[in-house]
Structure 1
Amino acid sequence: MTSEVFVEKKKLEQPPLEIHTLGDRVLRMPAKRVSRVDSEVRQVVRQMLQTMYSADGIGLAAPQVAIHKQIIVIDCEPDEPANQPLVLINPTIKQFEGEVCVFQEGCLSIPGVYLDVKRPEAIAVAYKDEYGRPQTLTARGLLARAIQHEIDHLNGVMFVDRVENKLALNQELGKHGFSAQAVKSVS
């Protein structure tokens, strides 16, 4: 079944939503659960996908565009037209699996900053799809990391909050014009 939320994977001159950046209070507000998945939610998902593709991202959480709902879109293969993006509404990680791996992460809300973050290599996640149907997924590698990164956004946590190398963190943030004061360490 083809979803009505999927959009053409292309950059728009004027993406429909604005991505907020580190230091903006909206990024620190926890998102609310979606009570009913309806056409309004699907419209938000469409706009989030268009905004994510326009910014060359592989994931976007609703709080990054100042929408305080538990909605995430992910596409680890944005250059692959046949690969459909993943829509996760009210996602909950049920289980962490495998090794804890260190991998470089970036974020559309902190452009240009890439730093090492430790996360479990595999997860099991429960969520609702764009039609409100309950789903479960076991994800590994980049997809597992992207889901964990975006779920953090739903809780007001950003990847820089998990960076252990504070010297590298401060240097990278400063180099790209961000304040280290905006980081809220969780490690």
Structure 2
Amino acid sequence: MNRIAQVHDFSGKGMGLAAPQIDLDHAIAVVRSALRDSADESIVLINPRITFVSSETDEKHEGCLSFFDVRGLVPRPLQITVESQTLSGETRVECYEHGLARLIAHEIDHLDGLLYNSRMRPGVAPIPVAEYRGTGRAWAY
């Protein structure tokens, strides 16, 4: 956690970071988002495992610190349940919905070696950030 805090303070770009993105061989992801009631509180996922995925999905543009100059239209479930461990080693089960479910799923994908472009529909290409900004389409639920 100290290494992640040193590398990325979430004050500018990015709402999440997975340990493999900074060359740490651990199954840890951190999400810090204004989509949460307390944007100052980070969601720390240690050894996370998605145990439930809703059949209801939506498709929104996502960005990534791994290649932040483009945005991709990615289908994701509107609700997921995640089992993970706390820093003290206890098992925790949490349900996430809408944008937070999207962010959590995105970071867990990193732990599985996936980038969002692998989730995009065939034939759909990422678009430049400048083009995305022109869409005026923020995530809305």
TM-score, with length taken from structure 1: 0.61
- Deviation of 1:172 after TM superposition, in Å, equals 4.1
1:138: which partner in 2?
A: 95
Matched, 1:49 2:27: no
- CA–CA separation in structure 1 for the residues paired with 2:54 and 2:40: 25
Matched, 1:96 2:43: no
- CA–CA separation in structure 1 for the residues paired with 2:91 and 2:69: 36
- Deviation of 1:109 after TM superposition, in Å, equals 0.8
| Identity score, percent | 34
Q: Unmatched 5+ residue regions in structure 2? A: 132-141
Distance 1:82 1:151, change over 3 A: closer
Matched, 1:147 2:104: yes
Bigger share in strand: 2
- Rg bigger for which structure? 1
Contact 1:55 1:108 in 2 (8 A): no
Contact 1:52 1:59 in 2 (8 A): no
Matched, 1:59 2:16: yes
Contact 2:45 2:86 in 1 (8 A): yes
- CA–CA separation in structure 2 for the residues paired with 1:153 and 1:161: 11
Which residue among 94, 107, 121 is the counterpart of 1:164? 121
Contact 1:102 1:118 in 2 (8 A): yes
1:85: which partner in 2?
A: 42
Report the number of matched residues. 128
Bigger share in helix: 1
- CA–CA separation in structure 1 for the residues paired with 2:119 and 2:9: 23
- CA–CA separation in structure 1 for the residues paired with 2:5 and 2:58: 28
- CA–CA separation in structure 1 for the residues paired with 2:86 and 2:73: 30
Which residue among 59, 67, 70 is the counterpart of 2:27? 70
TM-score, with length taken from structure 2: 0.80
Q: Secondary structure at the match of 2:2?
A: helix
1:126: which partner in 2?
A: 83
- CA–CA separation in structure 1 for the residues paired with 2:23 and 2:39: 29
CA RMSD in angstroms comes to 2.4
Distance 1:52 1:153, change over 3 A: farther
